Amino acid sequence: GAVVSQHPSRVICKSGTSVKIECRSLDFQATTMFWYRQFPKQSLMLMATSNEGSKATYEQGVEKDKFLINHASLTLSTLTVTSAHPEDSSFYICSARRTGHGAFFGQGTRLTVV
Amino acid sequence: AQSVTQLGSHVSVSEGALVLLRCNYSSSVPPYLFWYVQYPNQGLQLLLKYTSAATLVKGINGFEAEFKKSETSFHLTKPSAHMRDAAEYFCAVSLSGGSNYKLTFGKGTLLTVNP
């Protein structure tokens, strides 16, 4: 199978701090990963496309300086929420592209900023 | 712009009863549609996908969905619910052709199955 692991599954942080979320493809290499978020009672929306070795591509309305994406290896992409505020509290989920097989999702991270 | 709307944030059925989860789409081009399931503490798992080959799509775990262009719908059904079907279900439309690389999801429907 194709397994994507996301860590942590839940995190609570104080307002003003930064938090990093990891997305790993455990049994395949992924040159491309995708980050989504879901605000309460809203749809799960694509935030950005993470490309190994190059800059991420952000969807319209997503602040790239606030949501830093790093895809330094073929199995790991990280999303860092910088200077987090309560309105950043959301469910974040990643997916990893496996060539010829589609994209596979992690289990998601529930971020609460207090 | 492409979008999906899931009607009903929570559906409750009895074990053995029909499961019907509703999804309507909006798309200016022929859509590629997906249903995903998420069990607690697990990632989204692909149930089935519509890529224009056939309007009735069969997926895993006994689920199927029918694409109805006239109704812009892609409802998910299962004839007989099992306790293990309790999960959250997401309908999605592709933003990248027939692949599932970039998706727009609905808000999700939580399915509970009562014994």
pLDDT per residue as tens digits for the range B41-56: 788 899 999 987 789 9
pLDDT in tens, B8-41: 999 999 999 999 999 999 988 888 999 999 988 7
Best of A7, A26, A44, A94 to mutate (most B CBs within 10 Å, chain B): A44
> For residue B110, is pLDDT > 70?
yes
Region B61-81 average pLDDT: 96
Q: What is the DSSP letter of B74?
A: E
DSSP conformation letters of A45-112: EEEEEEETTS--EEPTT--TTTEEEEEEETTEEEEEE-S--GGG-EEEEEEEEETTTEEEE---EEEE
* Structure confidence by residue, pLDDT tens digits, A73-82: 999 999 999 9
Which residue in chain A has the smallest CA separation from B10?
A41
Would residue A100 be called left, alpha or beta, if left means φ above 0 and alpha means ψ between -120 and 50 degrees? left
**What mean pLDDT is predicted for residues B84-98?**
89
- B43 contacts A46? CB cut-off 8 A: no
> For position B35, what pLDDT does the model report?
96
**Nearest Cα to Cα of residue A92 among A70, A111, A69:** A111
pLDDT value at position B90? 95
pLDDT at A94: 95
* pLDDT at site B9: 93
Query: What is the per-residue burial (b if ≥16 Cβ within 10 Å, else e) of B105-114?
Result: bbbbbebebe
Nearest 5 degrees, angle CA B90-CA A92-CA B114?
Answer: 40
| Each residue's pLDDT tens digit, A22-48 | 999 999 999 999 999 988 878 888 999
Share of chain A above pLDDT 70, in %: 99
Judged by CB atoms closer than 8 Å, whether chains meet at B107 and A4 is answered as: no
Q: Average pLDDT of chain A? A: 93
The alpha carbon of B70 is separated from its chain's Cα centroid by a whole number of angstroms, namely: 18
> Which residue in B36, B46, B104 is closest to A45 by CB distance?
B104
Q: Do B90 and A44 touch (CB under 8 A)?
A: yes
Radius of gyration of chain B measured on its C-alpha atoms: 13
User: What integer pLDDT is reported at residue A13 of this predicted model?
Assistant: 96
Q: How far is CA A111 from the centre of its chain?
A: 11
Residues 6+ apart with CB under 8 A from A91: A37, A38, A44, A108, A109, A110, A111
Q: Is the pLDDT of residue A1 over 70?
A: no
Lowest-confidence region among A30-34, A90-94, B94-98: B94-98
| Confidence (pLDDT) at A14 | 97
- Which residues in chain B are contacts of A104 at CB distance < 8 A? 43
CB contact under 8 A, B41 and A95: no
Q: Chain A: residue nearest B4 by CA? A: A43
Comparing C-alpha atoms, which of A42, A93, A9, A35 is closest to residue B108? Answer: A42
